[in-house]
Amino acid sequence: MQNKILEAIETPEILEKLYRSDKKAFEKAFYDVYHEISEQKTAEIWKARLDFDLSKATETRFSGRDILLVVIASLITGFLIKIPQIFDINVDKFYFYEKNAGMIILFGLSLYAFLTSGKKNTKLLLITLGIYIVSAVYINVLPSTEDSHSIILAYMHLPIMLWTVYGLIFITFDLSSLPKRMDYIKYNGDLAIIGILLLIAGGILSGITLGLFSAIDMEIEQFYFDYVGIWGLVAIPIVGTFIIKVYPFIASKIAPVIANIFSPLVLITLSIYLVSILVTGKDPYNDRDFLIVFNLMLLGVMAIIVFSVIETAVQNKQRFNLTVLFALSVITLIVNAIALSAILYRLNEYGFSPNRVAVLGSNVMIFIHLILIMMDLFRVNFHKKPINCVENTIARYLTVYAFWTAFVVFVLPWLFELR
């Protein structure tokens, strides 16, 4: 789309056709290349037009029905999370929340997405319900134990698998649209920001409420946690989604700032960390706990790279941001290579186990993805390729993560005979 805009900048008719063919993709691509065409009169006109559309989009437009749908989805999600108390289920013995908490929250989000969808598709609704029902039955039929690593891995990976199912709903099952996939990833970043803000606000409100009642000698902590706190926690993703729909530019204004600040800081921290490993002589090959921390750090940095690519805005220091991201991808690839070699070493020394297979698969996936992202960032920095080539690489690879999580949930436990 960027190249098409550049080629057609002096042909208003073609620009209009491009805009009508895919408004979101055109808008994003236009802002990405605006610094190259800003002196063109046509570009000034289009910028004014798109800026006006953005300002209109920031107007608050919601009805009582919108609020009602948020309440309905939140109440159903809250009811499902309270099933152990309603039906007197021993959560410690049955591992209810370990098995179901993530699934329930994603079901609530999926329900809200269908309720607010402009087009109702009964077939897709039934398919989605079928996936959730099969997942719920399967995960709850698995033995409730903390001794089986393969079953615990299934508990951990099921929410990630269902996150991809929710993604299908978000993109209206349009698997061929890479821009929609990127919109979904960006939505998750925005939701994380809004969710944290709501969590902080809810914590402050809860503290004030409990303090006020405590001052008049009324201890309501247990009641408040059981009937307000839990329901409020599971409602945060739904309320956050509603806020993003109504005020789409709240998180969009914050996210680029966070990306611009954190990317250089993470690059510096990670570089110092690698040097510190050499100086202190820490050994990820024989220190299991250190290897676990190493992998968690890798996942966090990978997430920062992905969201920073998405949030890289058209500004004077865009080139600096892209250079930082390229350097960060190189450093992260080195970290990933060390983690991968440590896992292979431990496999050779101690043999296969569910945890080692899961960590090995995850690291191989991330390693390949990082190589592809690094190559694209190299082309963007040194061969003037458009940034959307990196986004397309990120979007295409989501399918790989989806299949891997499904494998860990439905196949890995049985490969190891539920050990």
Any idea where the domains of the chain sit in the sequence?
A: 1-57, 64-246, 248-385
Q: What is the pLDDT of residue 390?
A: 85
Q: Which two tokens stand for residue 62?
A: 């919601």
Q: In a 3-state reduction of DSSP, which class is residue 186?
A: helix
Q: In this model, does residue 44 exceed pLDDT 60? A: yes
Closest by CA position to 166, among listed 123, 110, 240: 110
Please tell me what DSSP assigns to residue 229: I
Q: Residue 212 half-sphere exposure, CB side, CA atoms within 13 Å?
A: 7
Assess contact for 329 and 370: CB atoms under 8 A.
yes
Model confidence band, residue 317 (pLDDT cutoffs 50, 70, 90): very low
Q: What is the pLDDT of residue 371?
A: 92
The per-residue pLDDT of the chain, averaged, comes to 83
- What is the rounded distance in angstroms from the CA atom of residue 230 to the CA atom of residue 38? 51
- pTM, entire model: 0.79
Q: What is the pLDDT of residue 350?
A: 83
Q: In a 3-state reduction of DSSP, which class is residue 418?
A: coil
Number of other residues whose CB lies within 10 A of the CB of residue 142: 19
Of the ranges 74-88, 244-258, 268-282, which is most confident? 74-88
Query: 328 or 60, which is more confident?
Result: 328
Closest by CA position to 305, among listed 227, 190, 390: 390
115-119, 129-133, 313-317, 401-405: which range is least confident on average?
313-317
The number of helices, as runs of H, and strands, as runs of E, in the chain is 19, 0
To which residue do tokens 């969201």 refer? 307
Assess contact for 77 and 104: CB atoms under 8 A.
yes
User: What's the pLDDT tens digit per position in 66-125?
Assistant: 889 999 999 999 999 999 888 888 877 888 888 999 999 999 999 999 888 867 778 888
Q: Give the residue-averaged pLDDT of 313-317.
A: 44
Number of other residues whose CB lies within 10 A of the CB of residue 198: 19
Model confidence band, residue 235 (pLDDT cutoffs 50, 70, 90): very high
Assess contact for 102 and 162: CB atoms under 8 A.
yes
Q: What is the pLDDT of residue 87?
A: 85
Strands (E), 9-125: none
Q: In this model, does residue 57 exceed pLDDT 60? A: no
Q: In a 3-state reduction of DSSP, which class is residue 385?
A: coil
- What is the rounded distance in angstroms from the CA atom of residue 49 to the CA atom of residue 111? 35
- The CA-based dihedral angle spanning residues 238, 180, 365, 151, taken in that order and rounded to the nearest 10 degrees: 30
Percent pLDDT > 70 in the chain is 91
